[in-house]
Structure 1
Amino acid sequence: MQPGPHNAITDVPGVLVGQVERTDPPYLTGTTVVYFPGTAVAGVDVRGGAPGTRETDLLDPVNANPGVNAIVLSGGSAYGLDTAAGVMAWLEERGEGVRVGAGERDVVPIVPTAVIFDLGRGGGFTARPTADWGRDAITAATDDPVAQGNHGAGAGARVGALKGGTGTASVRLDDGTTVGALAIVNAAGSAVGPAGRLYGESTALADEYGVLNTPTEPQPTATGPIPGMNTVIAVIATDASLDKAAAKRLAMIAHDGLARAIDPVHTLVDGDSVFAASTAPKDTPRLSVTDPTALLQLETIFAAGAHCLTRAIVHGVLAAESVDSPAGHLPSYRDTYPSAFTNG
């Protein structure tokens, strides 16, 4: 297995990503939109004790949902759910959504959303994303490489005592299927073990993380969970043709990848939520969890999704940069453990 050309969720055909952020005080927050121009079959699994979500019930396989148009990941806590309104308005103007009337724009776009808590991290509690941020993010969506670290919804993220961020990864399976993940790493738990090494670093494909060494002077303050409001939110995407139940199962198993990269996870102060999406054309026969002949193929895809999520989290931590704001100093992994990046 090898990463895709961008090693990003945008390696999956039918996936575009757009991001906006503000890091000038009192702002330290942003919004990330995963856009599916042809719609996608989607599922979600929410395991954190303090989730902030929108339209997740609709993704239950027993409910009537023909597909999603976009998934929004945003800062701003519950206030950040407003970003979905901007995405919906943009989609409505283009006639994208569930058709409910004869008019060209008589549609209801389906835009599930999840948010992280980053309020006040730039110094201002009211400095948070609005509907306009969602519109700007989807307007900027492309299939180019995805900016990581302090970009999009990861702008104000933290992981334990360190700066978190946006991360992404992809893999091309032996049968040609592509699986990708995008994560906003904002966990109460830590991505760093007691020796200063990243929990998820053993998952590297080839040398995607570069050379990482055991730090010579581990910093205990960077390894423990920090009480507060947090959350890891993520999207797993694939061009494999999944039905709704299989998409749900992909989201569920992807949480294993979260648990490999962060300790602890799914706490009462985290809102850990993972979406999964299949971008295969609508007329493609769907892989089903009830079909015994599809189980091996599905398990391969599910395992790849979890693996990609671990890698995306590692990339998000490695790409994050230290931040100084009126709210204080938030150090990056690179600045806290410089010896981890010294060869020799």
Structure 2
Amino acid sequence: MNETQPRRAAPAPLPGGAVTDVRGIRVGHFTDPRRPTGCTVILAEEGAVAGVDVRGAAPGTRETDLLEPGNLVERVHAVLLAGGSAFGLDAAGGVVRWLEERGVGLQVGPACVPIVPAAILFDLLVGDHRVRPDASAGYAACAAASDAPPAEGSVGAGAGATVGKLFGIERAMKGGIGTASVRVAGVNVGAIVAVNAVGDVLDPHTGAVIAGARSADGMWPLRTAEAMLRGEWPAASAPVTQPGGATTIGLVATDAVLDKAQARRLAQVAHDGFARTIDPVHTPYDGDTIFALATGASGLRVDLALLGVAAALVTAAAVVRGVSRAQGIATSGLPRLPSARDLGWIRG
């Protein structure tokens, strides 16, 4: 190496922390004891400006149109992430009920109407598909909410999450839910992500697969994108190759002051964190969706470019933490789905 050239610094480690480091945010999980599924609620009871960006082609969402900058409602009171495919949207009703009982919502005449956008992921291949989050699950998640760092891995919306499914669920691995945060320019930026991708999850620094589709013997990464380019392709009838067969969903939050257009931009840029850590991402079989919340609790306005850099960083970190903290599972009718730690693909 030419000693006159500057040495390249090692990449900074991914951030720790949690989305609850953002002032005005609380998180609660409900994990169903009957099979691996559940839901996660992100509460902003004082109200938060919100945006959303959907990149996958098979989304399942609720109350996303009202987040358009030109539409009337300015603030939301919670966001729900749930398993159970489209059935799981029912859990948002329990969040609405919990908030209404506490007088939290948009006052419309005599009624207090909580505003609760939601997104779901597909986890019906794991266990009895007739068990899925409902209104009571959403209510229970609210009752469990706190501003402490939330549990990660195989809990809440990540309980039934899997990754690397394009070549069959029997060669997939366990996904999960993760969170991270950073502090920049006097404000906090955090993310929480339920990782349930068709594709593999990568280390954003090295590109190494840390969870995803496995080789025929089950021990080594197949590298899904490379296999696809070699011409390998699953049967069209495989369950995961149907619309909605996967989906990674999440939320990025800040206590900076934003308007609705800026919140939407923050959600858009946060998808860069998905692109750094999931390959392939935003496929026809994923409904990848990211919400953004701005509580404004800091009272500070921060350059949106800086907030975007932070949002992409914490989103990438949340994806990695979701799979690194997951636990392998065994359910009726399926071989054991190992976690990244089970196979030693990630340590520490």
CA separation in 2, counterparts of 1:202 and 1:120? 31
Q: 2:24·2:297 contact (CA, 8 Å) conserved in 1?
A: no
Question: Residues 190 and 222 of structure 1 are in contact (CA less than 8 Å); yes or no, is this contact kept in structure 2?
Answer: no
Report the Cα offset of residue 95 of structure 1.
1.3
Q: 1:34 to 1:63 in 2, by over 3 A?
A: same
Q: Specify the alignment match of 2:8 in structure 1.
A: none
Structure 1 residues without counterparts, runs of 5 or longer: 192-197, 204-216, 288-293
2:77 alignment partner, one of 69, 81, 102 = 69
The 5-angstrom pairing of residues 109-124 of structure 1 reads 109-122=114-127, 124=128
The separation in 2 between residues aligned to 1:185 and 1:99, in whole angstroms, is 35
Equivalent position of 1:322 in the other structure: 328
- CA–CA distance in 2 between the matches of 1:273 and 1:76? 16
Contact 2:56 2:284 in 1 (8 A): yes
SS in 1 for 2:86: helix
1:310-344 deviation line (CA, Å, top 9, x unaligned): 00000001001110010422110111235x539xx
Q: 1:108 aligns with which of 99, 113, 116?
A: 113
Does 1:127 pair with 2:131? yes
Is the aligned partner of 1:148 residue 2:156? no
Q: Which residue of the partner structure matches residue 178 of structure 1?
A: 188
Kindly provide the amino acid, as one letter, of the partner of residue 195 in structure 2. Answer: V
In structure 2, C-alpha distance between the alignment counterparts of 1:219 and 1:326, rounded to whole Å:
22
- 2:213 alignment partner in structure 1: none
Give the Cα separation in 2 of the matches to 1:327 and 1:153: 22
3-state DSSP class of the match of 1:341?
coil
Distance in 1, matches of 2:331 and 2:218, equals 25
Cα contact 1:38–1:281 (8 A) shared by 2: no
TM-score in terms of structure 2 length: 0.82
The residue that corresponds to 1:28 in the other structure is 36
The CA deviation at 1:2 is 9.6
TM-score (norm 1): 0.83
Q: What is the alpha-carbon distance in structure 2 between the residues aligned to residue 240 and residue 129 of structure 1?
A: 32
RMSD over equivalenced CA pairs, Å: 2.3
Cα distance in structure 1, aligned partners of 2:297 and 2:272: 28
Aligned to 1:166: 177
Q: Residue 37 of structure 1: SS of its match in structure 2?
A: strand
The 2-side partners of 1:147 and 1:244 are apart by 29
Deviation track 1:89-133 (CA, whole Å, cap 9, x = no partner) reads: 11111111110124xxx11110000000001412x1101111000
Partner of 2:338: 331
In 1, distance between residues paired with 2:21 and 2:337?
A: 31
- Cα shift at 1:281: 4.6
> Aligned equivalents of 1:3 and 1:269: distance in 2?
28
- How far the C-alpha of 1:139 sits from its partner, in A, is 1.1
Q: Unaligned stretches of 5+ in structure 2?
A: 1-11, 165-171, 208-216, 226-233
Q: Percent identity?
A: 48
Q: Decide whether the 8 Å contact of 2:193 with 2:248 is kept in 1.
A: yes
Query: Residue type of the partner of 1:164?
Result: G
Distance 2:309 2:103 in 1: 36
Per-residue CA deviation, residues 213-245 of structure 1 (Å, 9 max, x unaligned), is xxxx99445532786100000000000101100
Match of 1:324, SS? coil
Given residue 162 of structure 2, which amino acid in structure 1 is its aligned partner? R
Aligned to 1:276: 292
Choose which of 127, 139, 142 in structure 2 pairs with 1:138: 142
Distance 1:325 1:268 in 2: 27
Task: Name the SS for the 1:275 alignment partner.
Answer: strand
Could you tell me which residue of structure 2 aligns to residue 214 of structure 1? none
Checking the alignment, whether the CA contact within 8 Å between 2:277 and 2:319 is kept in structure 1 is yes
Deviations, residues 236-284 of structure 1 (Å, cap 9, x unaligned): 00001011000000000111110000001110000000000001159x5
Please tell me whether the aligned partners of residues 23 and 155 of structure 1 are also in contact (alpha carbons under 8 angstroms). no
Tell me, yes or no, if the aligned pair for 1:162 and 1:222 is still in contact at 8 Å.
Answer: no
Are 1:300 and 2:311 an aligned pair?
no
Say how many residue pairs are matched.
304
The 1-side partners of 2:97 and 2:121 are apart by: 22
